[in-house]
Amino acid sequence: MKVRTRFAPSPLHLGEIKTALFAWLFAKQHKGVFMLRIEDTDKSRENAEGIENITESLKWLGLDWDEGPDGDKDRGEFGPYIQSKRLDIYLEQDKMLMEQRKAYADPYTKEELDSFRQQAQMQNKPFLFRNHRPKDFVEWKEGMPIRLKTPLKRYEWQDIARGKLSAGEEALDDYVLIKADGYPTYNFAHIVDDHLMQITHVIRGEEFISSMPKFLATYDVLGWQTPEFVTMPPVLNQEGGKKLSKRHGAQPVLEYRQQGYLKEAIINFMASLGWNDGTDQEIYTLDELISKFRLERLQKTGAHFNPEKLNWMNGEYIRGLDEDSLMEHAKDFWPKEA
């Protein structure tokens, strides 16, 4: 089967662009497909400018997508590639699960759920919705959340970068598939999309490891084969204590362009964060990265963001420019005429 990877981001900073880069490199190496998907089902975070930021960032870096949104149209046969345009697809899967008694309409009010939580707290127990499954399946009506009837068992899975992992039923509960507003949760929507879009390798950050039992239970209930899973090491901030994020030292990708960094330096620097080819080589051409990249050589521990190293790499690439290329790059930074 042809390798198919995907990138489904929020507005980009350098820590997130590494996910896109590694998925892109792996797809190119195997002459596969790199897909861009816009996951916008959380309406509280909806941001049209964010989509433009994502597409412009990827285009500047040269990480063009084979399938995905392309202006007002789609590029590829598995669209729409924007989740808010796929609501009927998610609801169709949920209705099928409810017919099979594998999912159910959540009949409880907020006040009733708060009461359940208080009872659990008084008993010094974790609140688990599965302990309050309605005895009888109620008819689903628009505006009611839909929950998965989660099978309770131990799940084991193989991660290409982390090896064999597992978790028991203590990590599982009946989670929401479709919210009251009619939009799916990320946990459900990305699984439906990955299956229907024939994604073969899911490459993402370690923050999703704790949710893997929930994901596997969903594949289990739907009767779908899982893709290959690859967990990347996080990018840590300069101090090394926290994951690089907007709150902890990250800046948008396009700000590096405005500051004069070459895209080749950004690509090379991001590839060095959490991966190496086992040699002392530090400067790579893009063709070398495509040729040498291996998922099995991803590190398990976090890599520190080192701005001094990025500046050094950028200097190496700038010194390698011919005169015409250097002048073309520099003209954007000349003083404006009065």
Three-state secondary structure readout of 24-60:
HHHHHHCCCEEEECECCCCHHHCCHHHHHHHHHHHHH
Q: Which of 246, 300, 309, 331 is catalytic?
A: 246
What are the structure tokens assigned to 180, written together?
């009251």
Which DSSP string corresponds to 188-211? HHHHHHHHHTT--EEEEEGGGGGG
Q: Look at residues 248, 178, 193, 162 and name the one whose alpha carbon lies nearest to residue 8.
A: 193
- Rounded distance between C-alpha atoms, residue 280 and residue 272, angstroms: 11
- Rounded distance between C-alpha atoms, residue 149 and residue 174, angstroms: 6
What are the structure tokens assigned to 254, written together?
């396009």
Contact 59, 24 (CB under 8 A): no
Catalytic residue status for 246 = yes
Contacts of 215 (CB under 8 A, 6+ apart): 187, 191, 208
What are the structure tokens assigned to 84, written together?
């808010």
Q: Look at residues 164, 178, 216 and name the one whose alpha carbon lies nearest to residue 194.
A: 216
Enzyme catalytic residues: 246
